[in-house]
Amino acid sequence: MDIDERVCIVTGGANGIGRAIAERFVQEGAAQVVVADIDGAAAQKTAAEIGALGVACDVGDEAQLATLIGETFERTGRIDVVVSNAGITASGGVEAPDEDWQRLWQINLMAHVYAARAAVPLMLEQGEGYLLQVASAAGVLTEIGSAPYSVTKHAAVSLAEWLSIQYRRKGLRVSCLCPAGVATDFLDLDDPIHQFLHFSAKTPAEVADSVIEGMRDERFLILPHPEVGEYFQFKGDQYDRWLHNFSKLPEKIARRQRKMAGVVEESQIRNSKSDTNSKLET
């Protein structure tokens, strides 16, 4: 699908990946782009900057999402693209508190269910429509630092697959965006796993390029980081080896951190030596 003349909604659109996608949709000639975000003031600010409409919406609340989609349809007479992008994370394994598991379940999965519940009937009536579900590489691989994130993102991929199979012969298209690291506020640089992801992070604008290309081809899996596709294939081919290799990643990250700390220490020593030398020279 081309975005030209389309009516598009982007949730979590005030910042990061959502903002970049919304901006690209405007540049591609969308008839209207609605930037929806839990932070209504930020949504309006972003919308004013990129030429969109900004609306406050908490995607964890079904009534707010239904209103967002219903009002956009009433105003424009169409809903062509819904980008279900808002997502959150929390670190921890099975010991993570139930509140974290519930919060991530609500935003990373149920918000996609609510968006589809409101948009699909309207799209079926139109005979076409596009759902772009923003999951993560953690949804096809895993994220070692967060069980709730990995599990809820897998659920998001599974829902996207189901929607694609269910509605593709009725004119609807579904894509699932699964990036690895993207340089946004989402990456907590105090977290070693996020630091690791930051090394190979794409910019939000690069991710938006992949989205435009993927939607043009109507490709289900949109992978801005090609290596994610390779790992996913390896997982399908050799599941046990993939598990084994992934289990070594925390150790590898710790080693890299120690090495980097060593490099920093060494360069600090070198700098202080050259400081001392230059002080001696003057």
Ligand X SMILES: NC(=O)c1ccc[n+]([C@@H]2O[C@H](COP(=O)([O-])OP(=O)(O)OC[C@H]3O[C@@H](n4cnc5c(N)ncnc54)[C@H](O)[C@@H]3O)[C@@H](O)[C@H]2O)c1
Q: Considering the rule CB under 6 A, would residue 223 count as an interface residue with ligand X?
A: no
According to DSSP H, which parts of the chain are helical?
16-27, 40-50, 62-76, 98-105, 111-126, 147-167, 192-199, 204-217, 226-237, 239-247, 249-281
Q: Which residues contact 39 (CB under 8 A, 6 or more apart)?
A: 14, 56
Query: 3, 7, 9, 17: which one contacts ligand X (CB under 6 A)?
Result: 17
Catalytically annotated residue among 114, 149, 167, 231: 149
> Of the candidates 52, 55, 174, 187, which one interacts with ligand X according to CB under 6 A?
187
For residue 273, the one-letter residue type is K
Asked if 58 touches ligand X (CB under 6 A), the answer is: yes
Among 8, 16, 35, 223, binds ligand X (CB under 6 A): 16
Angle between helices 239-247 and 249-281 (to 10 degrees): 40
Stretch that binds ligand X, among 25-33, 92-100, 174-182, 255-263 (CB under 6 A): 174-182
* The only residue of 32, 72, 133, 136 in contact with ligand X, by rule CB under 6 A: 136
Residue 134 found at the interface with ligand X (CB under 6 A): yes
- Is 85 a binding residue for ligand X by CB under 6 A? The answer is yes
Three-state helix/strand/coil letters over 142-210 = CCCCEHHHHHHHHHHHHHHHHHHHHHHHHCEEEEEECCCCECCCCCCCCCHHHHHHHHCCECHHHHHHH
Min dist CB 73 to ligand X, Å, is 19
Least distance to ligand X, CB of residue 192, Å: 14
CA pair distance 147, 78, nearest whole angstrom? 38
Residue from 129, 179, 214, 224 binding ligand X (CB under 6 A): 179
Based on the shown chain and the rule CB under 6 A, indicate whether residue 104 belongs to the binding site for ligand X.
Answer: no
According to the binding rule CB under 6 A, does residue 151 interact with ligand X?
no
Q: Is the dihedral of CA 219, 223, 226, 228 positive or negative?
A: negative
250, two tokens:
């925390």
How far is residue 232 CA from its own chain's centroid? 17
**Least distance between ligand X and beta carbon 42 (Å):** 6
Among 6, 7, 18, 115, binds ligand X (CB under 6 A): 18
Closest approach of Cβ 86 to ligand X, in Å? 4
Tokens at 106, concatenated = 């609500």
- CB-wise, 6 or 112, nearer to ligand X? 112
Quote the least distance from Cβ 149 to ligand X, whole Å. 7
Determine contact, residues 155/55, Cβ cutoff 8 Å.
Answer: no
Q: Partners of 193 in the beta sheet?
A: none
Can 239 be counted among the known catalytic residues? no
Q: For ligand X, which stretch binds (CB under 6 A), given 70-78, 86-94, 114-122, 224-232?
A: 86-94
From candidates 3, 8, 9, 11, binder to ligand X by CB under 6 A: 11
In angstroms, the Cα distances linking 196 to 135, 233, 253 are 19, 22, 7
Applying CB under 6 A, does 181 fall inside the site for ligand X?
yes
Binding site for ligand X (CB under 6 A): 11-12, 14-18, 37-39, 57-60, 85-88, 107, 134, 136, 179, 181-182, 184-187, 197
Catalytic residues: 149
